[in-house]
Amino acid sequence: MSTSINAPYHHGNLRRALLEAALIILEREGEAGLGLRDLARAVGVSAAAPYRHFDGRAALLEALAVTGFQRFTAAMEAIPLANPPDLMAAMGKTYVLFALDNANLFRLMFSPQLKRTAAPACAWPPTRRSKPCAISAVATPRPAASPRSRPWARVHGLAVLLLDGQIAIRAGEDTEALIAEIVRTSLRLAPAILPV
Amino acid sequence: MSTSINAPYHHGNLRRALLEAALIILEREGEAGLGLRDLARAVGVSAAAPYRHFDGRAALLEALAVTGFQRFTAAMEAIPLANPPDLMAAMGKTYVLFALDNANLFRLMFSPQLKRTAAPACAWPPTRRSKPCAISAVATPRPAASPRSRPWARVHGLAVLLLDGQIAIRAGEDTEALIAEIVRTSLRLAPAILPV
DNA sequence: CAGATATGTGAACATTGATAACATGGAGCG
DNA sequence: CGCTCCATGTTATCAATGTTCACATATCTG
């Protein structure tokens, strides 16, 4: 367990601690409620300390977004392989659940206020890189024109609709099953998935 | 032209002036770049003046959102009546174009940071109230379950996808025609529109 | 062990949202 | 007309925030 929690440095691995605390605050208070001083206070460190690890608030937010994309990718990679239709459904479900479980982070990941200097770290759209049949790009060319890109666009739209409350989930409902069904319905309307 | 620009009050109709200036700043600088002091300065008034008209920054943002919904509704009402399929397509196109033309305002309208005390003023989903055959609610019950609500959910998702850059529009392209086509394609997949 | 470098601290500064006390000008009434 | 009252706007002020700078301390390298 001596992987990363230990203190290789002076006060501990601050950068990681900051990011973790920031993720919690972000999810609880929203992006506007994430202040650098609060953050420093939460980690038990001086107000100027974060500046040793991030160029400023904007850079901190960008690092958070990168973290988000990493976790997002990890969640995708964790999906067991399957034949394309099932895989697609599973990825869609994972996509939407990730958005719901990390609402503010997800919003941040696609926020226009990001300068995206670390663009390559923000890997989108999702892929299963181990699978040559994986679904590929959507954002780069003009995705609307590419039939095999539409499913992701649709799933993303679905996620945002849920986040925006345009598709409400009644309390006490089986969220996961409901999501799965919505995704399935949504994808059924999509054109067939083309192997790359 | 003496409709509303004139000065019925002391310094002029400040509330309206503030809202108009705020809309411009919001579109140019984004929500984060909209400061009360900048705003006051832009209108040529003291920094404390806006507080006579809005309870604070949050209230100002909420008022902006309400304004957005009003303009949105107005845009919808301006659509000439037609038979349901054509009407639907026209409303979808208007919906998406509104989102693109007022990107930051649109984002604000659906932002989770709004307390929505003025909920009734935030009229969504869009309706053509003069038409009994109009399309009705989506958000209130559980829209995913209601077949006739899905088109709006889909159009909203489309708008957000465009805003988030997941569906890119190449520069110098006929935006309007492209949007119309995307909306048409998207709606064609939707279940038939049911008259209310 | 010594110096260089990375990391954290404390004190500052400008700016912001917000509030309170004061000023002003028009509306309404005698 | 003249007076008061109230909505509106101003100035002064405060606490909090992002940011920077000079300084301190721990870690690493030679």
Indicate the domain borders of chain A. Answer: 9-54, 64-188
3-class secondary-structure state, position A133: coil
Collect all residues of chain B within an 8 Å Cβ-Cβ radius of residue A142: 167-170
* pLDDT for residue B170 is more than 70: yes
Q: Which of B142, B161, B168 sits opposite A168 (nearest CB)?
A: B142
Contact residues on chain B for A126, CB-CB shorter than 8 A: none
Which of chain D's bases lie under 7 Å from a protein CB?
A: 7-13, 16-22, 25-28
Residue A139, amino acid: A
Report CB contact under 8 Å: B165, A139: yes
A138 and chain B: CB distance < 8 Å anywhere?
yes
**Cα–Cα distance, B191 to B196 (Å, whole number):** 15
Instruction: Work out the pLDDT band at B89, boundaries 50, 70, 90.
Output: confident
Q: Do the first three CATH levels of B8-54 and B66-188 match, i.e. the same topology?
A: no
With a cut of 50, which residues of chain A have pLDDT below it?
Answer: 1-8, 130-148, 190-196
Check residue A139 and give its pLDDT: 29
Domain B66-188 has CATH 1.10.357: yes
Is any Cβ of chain A less than 8 angstroms from the Cβ of B165?
yes
CATH 1.20.120 matches B8-54 = no
- Note the pLDDT tens digit of each residue in A31-70: 999 999 999 999 999 999 999 999 999 999 999 999 999 9
**Nearest amino-acid residue to D16, taking CA and C1':** A37
> Which of A:67-106 have CB within 8 Å of B?
103
Six-digit token pair at B142?
A: 């559980």
Whether residue A125 is preceded by a cis peptide bond, meaning omega within 30 degrees of 0, is yes
The pLDDT tens digits of the residues spanning B18-64 come to 999 999 999 999 999 999 999 999 999 999 999 999 999 999 999 99
The answer to whether residues B68 and B106 touch, using CB atoms and an 8 Å cutoff, is yes
A-facing residues of B in 24-53 (CB < 8 A) are 30, 32
| B17: CB within 7 A of chain D nucleic strand | no
Q: Which of A139, A161, A189 sits opposite B166 (nearest CB)?
A: A139
Domain A64-188 has CATH 2.30.30: no
How many helices and strands in chain A, by DSSP H and E?
7, 0
Question: Quick check: B166 and A153 CB within 8 A?
Answer: yes
A156 touches chain B (CB under 8 A): yes
Sign of CA dihedral A106, B34, B29, B25: positive
Q: How far apart are CA A88 and CA A151, in angstroms?
A: 9
Q: For the purposes of burial, counting CB atoms within 10 Å of the CB of B172, is it exposed (0-12), middle (13-18) or buried (19 or more)? A: exposed
Q: How far apart are CA B39 and CA A90, in angstroms?
A: 47
State the CATH class of domain A9-54.
mainly alpha
pLDDT tens column, B27-36? 999 999 999 9
